[in-house]
Structure 1
């Protein structure tokens, strides 16, 4: 197995037919930044925090149109009901491990209370998603502190997004292999709007059989041995979609729904124990966009989610953690060979 990690496009694997943005990342959407804090401590802690920070909600009184789709509600998404009820995002979106979600939410509230102009603030709706990283990290220790959250928020960058075993993806696993953080984007033409950039970030931690552009990649065949450790049975996926078209919250709900559908392209089994959530947010000024014009955006979301999930696995590295549990990185040479034999990649790639 090769240890050389790469994004899907670096291998010639290009899900769909639409054009990515210049970074092929959620930060291609102007005004969106991403930061991570990773905790790798001793033999038992493999966890962290990822912050998705739209500039408009990183200041006093900031709000953006947003919505949520719950594919399966087996999770602890803090702030979900108000997000749906009001159709608005008031805070950055933070991702972490399951039992740390509440400490992260408290730290996010502290961060917002301290922002200039919020001196009289008495209510705010922190949005914090999670997946269960308890196989690789001692989840009961809940090691996330306010400082970890602040580091993720203040380090958020609009130029690059680290992927794989970073931030909230440090201890996650997906589709039989080591998972993590992945991102992708698409640029599409929308009637009466023009060019629209759709960016996606995923925290992959769900079960099923890895599928690459329609080609199944079973775990044991890829690894070359039988891995006796149990595969994921759920454990969840968080998806964040940002776009620069002025959609309303109802339309963003339709976009979020397609994001969860996109997991199916990568082989998700949508298990009953998987909390599968997608949040969609618009950073653009409100505009009149007809429902008939949304189809290119739907296609962009499906493709970007598929590629983001693949990037989360292809950039992740084999990780040994809690109680010696191991999740192996998907062998990329095997993936390339299987895709070549299936005709997904041309000979010689």
Structure 2
């Protein structure tokens, strides 16, 4: 069993921009992450909570849809108002609605006068390694993730909402990365669960295809740059490009979504200056996707099905042969 390692530890550097101190979404000031992991013989699932400070006052936000074959609760109001007013939670497909209800309970307890709230919950299908029809996520699981959020480096790979996911023929999960600009930070967290041919720095890393239902990816983009909702929509759409860079085949049964928000409520960014944020989100998303794979462990789950972690030595050998690594 190889030790999970982030892709930079393998010598792979994505892009040219510098990372934040943790190379994670939590490098964005005020962005916290908490997770609940369920891992048994038949269940491999969980909850990942992204909680930006100040969400209750409303934060500029936007959603981009690469392929809408999925469940992302709360998108129409974000599209209409350009505002995020709750934490963002990720989970398995059939648990989405239970997670949204539990999030709503958690929010109502903290706002005794609220009569309308728009919970944001996304998903990917972890049914290959987990008994998805059991819908095992409980309110206690959701509240545990929300109540343990931290600014530390989020656990990657087989944790939280990524416990049972697969991508590009390998075991995948949660991944995160960040990029810094002179004016602020862009951080990304992904829940990877999609098909295609893994590609690292332009080099294919073939795998035996996994016969798994649901080929999706959730991308959460956080920044403290002073971007308005329209500009965040442009940033979110650039996050989608990174899926192609790592080899997604954008299958018709894939639900690919990016939701971007800013913790800065004073938008003051010119469109002509978006080159930096566009580069930052593309690089950070690509690296987060690779981290979701290299940080995962081989997992055997529901009905004895197994998803194998990508071999670190194989990545290095292929990239060395191609002249990418020395």
Q: TM-score normalized by structure 1?
A: 0.92
- Structure 1 residues 80 and 219: CA distance shift in structure 2, 3 A: same
User: Which residue pairs with 1:131 in the alignment?
Assistant: 124
Between the aligned partners of 1:33 and 1:76, the Cα distance in structure 2 is: 23
Q: Which 10-residue stretch deviates more, 229-238 or 283-292?
A: 229-238
CA offsets 1:290-341 (integer angstroms, 9 cap, x no match) = 1010011000100000000000000000000111111000000000111111
Correspondent of 1:291 among 257, 271, 279: 271
C-alpha separation in 1, matches of 2:153 and 2:159 = 13
Q: Provide the aligned C-alpha RMSD in A.
A: 1.1
The CA distance in 2 between the partners of 1:255 and 1:307, in whole Å, is 16
Name the counterpart of 2:70: 75
Offset at 1:3? 1.2
Task: List alignment gaps of at least 5 residues for structure 1.
Answer: 190-194, 221-228
Instruction: Using the TM superposition, give the Cα deviation of residue 288 of structure 1 relative to its aligned residue in structure 2, in angstroms.
Output: 1.7
5 Å-filtered alignment, 1:99-138, equals 99-115=94-110, 118-138=111-131
Q: Which residue of 1 aligns with 2:46?
A: 48
Q: Is the 8 A contact 2:128 2:213 kept in 1?
A: no
1:233 to partner: Cα distance: 6.2
1:59-74 equivalences in 2 (<5 Å): 61-74=56-69
Report how many aligned residue pairs link the two structures.
Answer: 326
Where structure 2 has 5 or more consecutive residues not aligned to the other structure, the ranges are none
1:9, CA displacement in angstroms? 0.7
SS at match of 1:219: coil
Structure 1 residue 234 displacement after superposition? 4.7
- Matched with 1:192 is none
Instruction: Tell me the distance in 2 between the aligned counterparts of 1:122 and 1:204.
Output: 34
Residue 252 of structure 1 aligns to a residue in which SS?
helix
Contact 1:207-1:232 at 8 Å conserved across structures: no
Asked if 1:209 is matched to 2:208, the reply is no
Aligned with 2:158 (options 152, 165, 170): 165
Deviation at 1:285, TM superposition (A): 3.0
Tell me by how many angstroms 1:124 deviates: 0.2
Give the whole-Å Cα distance in 1 for the aligned partners of 2:223 and 2:45.
Answer: 28
Give yes or no for the alignment of 1:345 onto 2:325.
Answer: yes
| Equivalent-residue separation in structure 2 for 1:231 and 1:252 (angstroms) | 35
Deviations 1:200-254 (A, max 9, x none): 000000000000010000014xxxxxxxx74456520000000111111000000
- Match status 1:329 vs 2:322: no
For residues 72-110 of structure 1, the C-alpha deviation after alignment (integer angstroms, 9 at most, x for no partner) is 000010101111111000000000000000000000000
Alpha-carbon distance in 1 for matches of 2:102, 2:144? 11
Normalising by structure 2, report the TM-score: 0.98
